[in-house]
Structures are given as structure tokens and as C-alpha cells.
């Protein structure tokens, strides 16, 4: 048992293999320090920050007080895993590692944990001498290919640690006018992909705060509606079960209803449209049969056309380009939505 252990890695994304190595190392050190480094070549489809990675590990290890998390922008460090297509300079790594030990106030007797296929584990003694550190190997995790996971997290979704899924799932909003089949499509897509979803918050708000009728709806209600919707999306992403998270309507739709009913744009809703950007938007043409469910009021052809154009205008105002599905047949809409998601989120070829 070592008093102090050190493990360095990029952890982008953090996967179950990483955690198994961390747990193995922590069983051999009274205190294990995890240092997270920046990734030289991050995945272009995901905007992952150093702070995101720190949060993943902090949350994963929240109940393991013998594991401490740190971050560094330094990349010339001996990471726990070594890839065949990467290289490092032992002398430079030694210098940077010594600087890291000094920065963290760690003793020179600290054990450095590396994967058992790392070159330093099997390097000559003279290459290790400048480190003056004990190098300890952790077991290989052959079922977790870190490089492959980093290159295509979606294809390796089941390997991701639950804490990272919210940052790797892509949100897709289903929008359109009243009675365009949005909610039914949301449930069909969620079931198809086994995905988490966020429901339309305006409709829920009418039930929880307005007694089930829009007769009391007023301008001041639109801010809490979008805040509730933002929280619902955050919760759906935080427990994401698939690479896609389905969202019933969006903030643009809330703004459209505000302009329709109140005759003015809500600046807070506009700010939320820009601040809480969704990854993709599917817009359903308002050409399906009108069904009056007691809460809908825009049922005439004129009103439906006007509202649809209002949505289009607001999307343009905020530089959002929705994918339009205009087939009036419900199953055709479902098939077109599947095709879009398969191509743009799962990377499948048409």
C-alpha cells in the first residue's frame, strides 16, 4: 500500500474502463490523485471542456474521499494510457511530472500508476531514473478501447460512464403548430431509440399553474414556462439513455405563442432561445387534421398558417435552420424523422 498515488489521463470521454483502472489504483494507495489533462485533438462534434471532465470525475468519485481530482493544461505528461500512434519524450515528461508534483505538493515517493501496456512500465531503469518515482502497472481493460471510444463515442455508448452521457447526447426538438402531431411523434421516437425526453412545458404549466385553461395566461407566464422547459431538458439530458434526447417543442415555440397572444416579443424568452441552444430541430408542417382537445385555439386554416409563418420568422431571427417535414401522413413523418436522426446523430448513411 502506497501513501500517495498519481494517475494522469485525458478522460475524454470518461468510460467504465477508466473507472475500473482508477478503482484498482485506489486500492493500492491511501490517497489517489487524478490529474485530468487537456486533449490535443478533441472530437469535433462535442464541445468538452476541462471543467466538464473534472465534473464527471468529481461526481463519479463523490463518495470516494480517498480520490482527489485536479486539472492541468499541460499535455507533456505520462498519461495512464499510451496509444500506439502517439509519442512522448521521456526527458520532457520527467521535467513536467516533477513540476506537477511540486504544484500539487506531492512527495517524491508518490506512486505513478500507468496501464500495463505503457512503454514506461517496461522501459529501461535509466529512463525511469529522472522520475525518481515508483511506477505501478494497472491491469489492462481489453474490453474498453479508449482510442476507439474517443473517436466514436456514439458507437460505444454502453461503455460511457453515466456521468458523461449528458454531454454526449444530442438534443432534437420536435416543433410545429397546434395539432401537428408533435407529442405523439416525441413518444414514438423516444420508444424507438430508448431515449430520454422532455415534454412540452407550456401545456404542463397550464395544468399546474392555470387550472387547466389558458384563459388566465398572461405575459408574465412566459418566463417561468421557458425556465421550467430548460430545467426539464437539463434533467432529460442528465439521465440520457441514448445518444439522442427528444424535446417536445422549444423556446422558439414559446416565443411564437407569446407574440401570437400578447402581440409582443418577450426579451427573456429571446435570450433563452440563444442561451439554451438545442442541437437539431425538426419542424412539422401544419397540414395534418385539426383535433380540438380543449386547449387549442389556433384551428382555422388562416390561424394555422399564420402561426407556422411566425415560427419560421423567429427561427430565421435566431439563425436556426429547422429540418422541415411536410408529409401529411403521420407514419411518413415518423419515418422521415428516423431518417434524419439516424443520419445526423448516429452517423448512418442514407
pLDDT at 298 over 90: no
Q: Which residues contact 210 (CB under 8 A, 6 or more apart)?
A: 216, 217, 221
Average pLDDT value over all residues in the chain: 90
Cβ 287 vs Cβ 326: under 8 Å: yes
The pLDDT score that the predictor gives to residue 289 is 63
Q: Quick one: how many helices (H) and strands (E) in the chain?
A: 13, 10
pLDDT at 211 over 60: yes
Pick from 8, 323, 283, 259: which is nearest to 135 by CA? 8
- Helix ranges restricted to H, 181-329: 182-193, 201-209, 222-238, 251-262, 267-275, 301-317
pLDDT, tens only, 161-181: 999 999 999 999 999 987 778
pLDDT, tens only, 305-325: 888 999 999 999 999 999 999
Domains, the chain: 2-162 (3.40.50.620), 169-344 (3.40.50.300)
Cell of 170: 444530442
Rounded to whole angstroms, the Cα distance separating 174 from 269 reads: 18
pLDDT at 229 over 50: yes
The pLDDT score that the predictor gives to residue 114 is 94
pLDDT, tens only, 116-143: 988 888 765 534 445 568 899 999 899 9
Pick from 75, 89, 151, 74: which is nearest to 119 by CA? 89
The pLDDT score that the predictor gives to residue 128 is 47
pLDDT at 299 over 60: no
Task: Over range 10-33, report the average pLDDT.
Answer: 97
Locate cell 415560427: which residue? 311
Pick from 226, 186, 59: which is nearest to 234 by CA? 226
pLDDT, tens only, 264-287: 999 999 999 999 999 999 999 887
Q: What percent of the chain has pLDDT over 70?
A: 91
The pLDDT score that the predictor gives to residue 16 is 98
Q: Which residues contact 311 (CB under 8 A, 6 or more apart)?
A: 175, 176, 177, 252, 253, 256, 283
Cell of 338: 428516423
The pLDDT score that the predictor gives to residue 119 is 81
Task: Over range 55-63, report the average pLDDT.
Answer: 98
Amino acid at each position: 500500500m502506497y501513501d500517495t498515488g498519481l494517475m494522469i489521463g485525458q478522460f475524454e470521454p470518461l468510460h467504465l474502463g477508466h473507472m475500473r483502472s482508477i478503482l484498482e489504483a485506489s486500492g493500492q494507495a491511501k490517497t489517489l490523485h487524478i490529474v485530468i489533462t487537456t486533449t490535443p485533438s478533441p472530437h469535433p462534434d462535442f464541445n468538452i471542456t476541462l471543467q466538464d471532465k473534472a465534473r464527471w470525475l468529481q461526481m463519479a468519485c463523490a463518495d470516494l474521499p480517498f480520490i482527489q481530482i485536479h486539472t492541468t493544461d499541460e499535455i507533456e505528461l505520462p498519461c495512464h494510457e499510451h496509444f500506439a500512434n502517439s509519442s512522448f519524450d521521456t526527458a520532457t515528461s520527467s521535467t513536467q511530472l516533477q513540476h506537477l508534483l511540486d504544484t500539487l505538493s506531492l512527495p517524491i515517493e508518490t506512486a505513478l500508476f500507468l496501464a500495463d501496456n505503457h512503454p514506461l512500465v517496461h522501459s529501461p531503469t535509466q529512463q525511469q531514473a529522472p522520475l525518481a518515482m515508483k511506477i505501478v502497472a494497472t491491469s489492462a481493460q481489453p474490453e474498453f478501447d479508449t482510442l476507439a471510444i474517443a473517436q466514436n463515442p456514439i458507437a460505444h455508448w454502453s461503455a460511457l460512464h453515466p456521468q458523461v452521457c449528458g454531454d454526449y447526447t444530442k438534443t432534437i426538438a420536435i416543433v410545429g403548430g397546434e395539432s401537428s402531431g408533435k407529442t405523439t411523434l416525441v413518444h414514438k421516437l423516444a420508444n424507438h431509440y430508448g431515449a430520454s425526453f422532455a415534454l412540452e412545458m407550456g401545456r404542463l404549466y397550464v395544468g399546474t399553474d392555470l387550472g387547466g385553461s389558458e384563459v388566465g395566461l398572461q405575459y408574465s407566464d412566459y418566463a417561468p414556462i421557458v425556465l421550467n422547459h430548460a430545467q426539464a431538458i437539463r434533467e432529460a439530458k442528465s439521465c440520457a439513455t441514448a445518444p439522442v434526447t427528444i424535446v417536445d417543442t422549444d423556446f422558439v415555440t414559446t416565443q411564437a405563442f407569446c407574440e401570437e397572444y400578447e402581440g409582443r416579443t418577450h426579451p427573456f424568452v429571446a435570450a433563452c432561445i440563444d442561451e439554451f441552444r438545442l442541437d437539431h430541430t425538426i419542424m412539422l408542417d401544419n397540414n395534418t387534421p385539426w383535433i380540438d382537445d380543449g386547449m387549442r385555439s389556433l384551428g382555422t386554416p388562416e390561424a394555422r398558417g399564420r402561426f407556422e409563418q411566425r415560427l419560421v420568422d423567429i427561427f430565421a431571427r435566431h439563425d436556426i435552420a429547422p429540418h422541415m417535414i411536410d408529409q401529411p401522413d403521420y407514419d411518413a413523418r415518423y419515418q422521415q424523422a428516423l431518417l434524419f436522426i439516424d443520419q445526423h446523430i448516429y452517423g448512418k448513411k442514407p
